Chains A and B, each alone.
Chain A
Amino acid sequence: MQCLRTPLSDLSVLERQRTRAEWQQQGQEQSDYHPYDADFCMQNLLPVETSFRALHSCSGGGANENHGNVHGSNDCFSNAWPDIVSSMHCPVVGAAASVEETSVNASSSSSSRKRKSENTRRSKENSGGSDGKDDSNCKRIKEETGGGAAPPEAKRPNKRKEESADASKENDKAPKSDYIHVRRERISQRMKYLQDLVPGCSKITGKAGMLDEIINYVQSLQRQVEFLSMKLAAVNPMMDINIDSFFGGREINPTCKSGIIPMIGMSSELLDQSYLQFGSLQHDMFMDSLDLLLRPNVNPPAAVSDTSLGSCLNVNGSSVWNTNLQNVYGVEFQLGRGTALPFQSLQGNLLPNNLKMEM
């Protein structure tokens, strides 16, 4: 990993962004587009380098001497996170991060945690190119979150990762009014992002209305997560069996999200023997329980099978499970009166019944 230092003081956001664009052209592998926070979110934006330049009358424009600089130097961070940084695809940002870090007063005044988060966040940021605007916003935001409305020249010893050359520019020249304008501009930028994010927000222009929409969206997402966790809980008693069968046999319906499969395959290496054995043990019990549920013809359909299943599910230990099974259904089973229902309808009945019963 190369490790070049950059002249800190004259780096502007623009330079960094161009550096990044340059670096990206050198072709790194990461295909995702990461304007805002590269490791985290991506957005398909056209290169906005020019508009970015228009936005900021940046001093010291073309100093592209920095674009060699690529890999984030570990030694900039006294609490080196070599594994994180080395796994990063975006060296430039590491450089940028180091720049900012040191420009802030990179003595160990920043906490190790900040540095780590800075590192994590920044170095994971791809030079996703040309979203100069977003990059600058990213930096501006970071600066904002760090300093709030801290006066420009401010003591920045404890300044967080959010330091941007923007701010340092402000330091030198801008009176407070300019700062406020910049701040408001950033707020509106953020609102625009949120507008893109929250569905159905394109018509609403006022800040209050936007906030309202955002609140509704957040609430609905939270409710959705609750609901999904409820559904997962309903599926769950059989879940570890499912996990096992995933990992074991890859017998997965092709309509499933294919992306999960390689991921799950990845984590299957992490399974230890004991778990696998445990899983296969559960597998038998699972099949039995399904057999029970296959017999709605024989017994009063949903109620009995569900109650017994429900009680079974809540019980530890296979012995009790099997006892229940045998007590209740043993006879019919041996009579061989089971008919296999079409699985779709079974599936259709299964979960709602469970839910109905337990709720």
Chain B
Amino acid sequence: MQATKSFERAFLRQLLRVFRLSAVSYKSMSLQERKSAIKLSADVAMASARGSRKWTRGLIAKLSEEDEHRSFLRLILGTEYERLTKPCHGSWKIPRSKKIVRRSLRVCSRRKNNLRAPHGVKSSVLARTLVEKRTHALKRLVPGGESLDGYSLLDEALDYVISLRAQADLMQKLLTTFEASKLSALSKCTLPERKASFVGK
């Protein structure tokens, strides 16, 4: 599975736009600051290019936790920011569904246990614990994943993985493009010209 071209295009457009907007402030930053600014920009660009999904909302919410980032986000996203940070109506259905999920799980496990009674319950309990542990870990990894139930968590994780991959690819390509253009820019300028330009200052 791959992200579509339109997503990549939107992502790149947003990213370049963010870079242009913040290019001035980059001058005065240290490497670490620049790195985190770039990472922030990339995340914002990814989220805004993706549109409205649980994980994008979670990501933007996480990024908005710091005030300085919030104004930056507002600037980048414009009206979308308000929309994306509005509390999700889906989230207040979760309590209800959890009850039912639990009930259904009980039904399921009762059935499973009945079938598997001779082998003892331990293996299934162990398996379930493992899965639970990993589900929790995944919830922590996927932004906004804490409030999702198993199935939608997988769904969001799938989406998130696709866009992360696209993000990494795009950044890699951007990097090679920058480096290559730097090389070509270097090669365009001959030595005497450079000397002249320097002396001229």
Contacts and interface: CB of A to CB of B under 8 A. Distances in A.
B183 A221 contact: no
Given A41-B3, A148-B98, A251-B181, A243 B28 contact: no
Nearest to A151: B100
Interface residues of B, number: 104
Nearest to B141: A218
B1 A145 contact: no
Interface string A34-73: 1011111111000000000000000000000000000000
Contact of A263 (B2, B12, B97, B188): B12
Contacts of A191: 154
Nearest to B100: A149
B90 A160 contact: yes
A238 B182 contact: yes
Contacts of B7: 39-41
A150 B100 contact: yes
B119 interface: no
21 contacts: A37-B159, A43-B2, A111-B89, A141-B155, A145-B151, A149-B101, A150-B96, A176-B104, A190-B151, A194-B158, A197-B162, A229-B35, A232-B174, A257-B177, A260-B177, A278-B24, A288-B197, A314-B29, A315-B27, A316-B27, A316-B28
Interface of B: 1-9, 12-13, 16-17, 19-20, 23-24, 26-32, 34-39, 42, 50-54, 83, 86, 89-90, 93-94, 96-98, 100-101, 104, 107-108, 127, 130-131, 134-135, 137-138, 141-142, 148-152, 154-165, 167-168, 171-189, 191, 194-195, 197-199, 201
Report the 5 A-B pairs with minimum CB-CB distance, sorted nearest first: A148-B97, A117-B52, A253-B180, A211-B134, A233-B34
Given A240-B20, A260-B12, 14 more contacts: A36-B1, A37-B159, A144-B151, A148-B97, A149-B101, A150-B93, A160-B90, A211-B134, A221-B164, A232-B35, A235-B175, A239-B23, A242-B178, A287-B198
